[in-house]
């Protein structure tokens, strides 16, 4: 988000289905949309905006694998090499009895790693001051932000397009 410019045109919508439809219309009219903000998840919105599919699943899988390997290493090192013990007549390294540990650490690494990745990739943190195009987008409104510097059309034209596709109001927002 470093290349953010200052002038945005923000279309405010009242309904999630309207905004979803408007995204397609505005794009078809040749306007580049910066981002859409909503109070809840709108399914299909990221596809309509052309956002690439999230790779969070890959990250989650890698963290899970690292959890499994760490647990294997921990149990193997402590019970097989560092201080072998025979308990309950089992081998010093007996895989079945370590399954619970391996499973729990897999889940733990996966969950924490994935959530950490999510926070980092979305730039979320306790000291982050978010760019809010309209404070009502966490309540009941849906905002479509259009970066004026990255569009060739002029303000009036874009405003017309937004209004035609169902925006209840169009505001100019400067940062």
Partner 1 sequence: MSHITSSVRTPLVTGGKTYADVTEDISRQVEGKPTREWTIAFTISVIVLLYGTACVFWTWWEGLGVWGLNKTVGWAWDITNFVWWVGIGHAGTLISAILLLFRQKWRTAVNRSAEAMTIFAVLCAASFILMHMGRPWLAYWALPLPNTFGSLWVNFKSPLVWDVFAISTYFTVSLVFWYMGLLPDLATIRDRARNKVSRYIYGALSLGWNGSAKTWARYEYMSLILAGLSTPLVLSVHTIVSMDFATSVVPGWHTTIFPPYFVAGAIFSGFAMVQNLVLIIRVVFKLEDYITLEHIESMNKVITLTGSIVGVAYLTEFFIAWYSGVEFESYAFINRATGPYWWAYLTMMTCNVVSPQLFWVRSIRRSVVWTFVIAVVVNIGMWFERFVIIVTSLHRDYLPSSWAMFHPTLFDISDYLFSFGFFFTLFLLFAKFLPVVNMSEVKAIIKSSSEKLPQSVSGVSKGERVTAPTFNKDAE
Asked if residues 31 and 153 have their Cβ atoms less than 8 Å apart, the reply is yes
Smallest distance, Å, CB 165 to partner 1? 8
Minimum distance from residue 153 beta carbon to partner 1 (Å): 22
Please say which residue, 40 or 154, places its beta carbon nearer to partner 1. Answer: 40
With respect to partner 1, which residue has the nearer C-beta, 85 or 154? 85
Q: What is the DSSP letter of 82?
A: I
- CB nearer to partner 1: pick between 2 and 135: 135
Of 28 and 104, which has the nearer Cβ to partner 1?
A: 104
Cβ nearer to partner 1, comparing 52 with 154: 52
Tell me how far, at minimum, the Cβ of 73 lies from partner 1, in Å: 11
Handedness of CA 65, 66, 67, 68 (dihedral sign): positive
> How far is it, in rounded angstroms, from Cα 72 to Cα 77?
8
Where does this chain bind partner 1 (CB under 8 A)?
Answer: 14-18, 21, 35-46, 49, 51, 54, 56-57, 60, 74-75, 78-79, 82-83, 85, 87-88, 90, 94, 97-98, 100-101, 103-105, 107-108, 110-112, 114-115, 118-119, 121-132, 135-140, 166
CA-angle at 19, arms to 13 and 23, nearest 5°:
130
Output the 3-class SS for 145-171: EEEHHHCCCCHHHHHHHHHHCCCCEEE
Q: Is 113 left (phi over 0), alpha (psi -120 to 50) or beta?
A: alpha
Give min distance, CB of 41 to partner 1, in A. Answer: 4
Quickly list DSSP for 83-132.
S----TT--SS-HHHHHHHHHHHHHHHHHHHHHHHHHHHTT--TT-----
Q: How far is the CB of 29 from partner 1 (least distance, A)?
A: 16
């Amino acid at each position: 988000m470093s290349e953010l410019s200052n002038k945005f045109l923000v279309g405010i919508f009242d309904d999630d289905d309207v905004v979803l439809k408007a995204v397609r219309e505005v794009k078809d009219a040749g306007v580049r949309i910066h981002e859409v903000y909503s109070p809840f998840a709108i399914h299909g919105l990221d596809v309509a905006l052309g956002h690439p599919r999230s790779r969070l699943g890959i990250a989650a899988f890698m963290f899970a694998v690292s959890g499994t390997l760490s647990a294997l290493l921990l149990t193997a090192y402590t019970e097989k090499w560092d201080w072998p013990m025979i308990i309950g007549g089992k081998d010093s390294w007996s895989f079945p009895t370590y399954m619970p540990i391996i499973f729990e650490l897999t889940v733990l690494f996966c969950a924490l790693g994935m959530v950490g990745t999510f926070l980092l990739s979305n730039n979320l943190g306790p000291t982050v001051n978010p760019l809010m195009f309209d404070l009502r987008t966490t309540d009941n409104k849906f905002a479509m932000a259009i970066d004026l510097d990255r569009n060739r059309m002029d303000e009036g034209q874009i405003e017309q397009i937004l209004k035609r596709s169902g925006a209840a109001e169009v505001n100019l927002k400067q940062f």
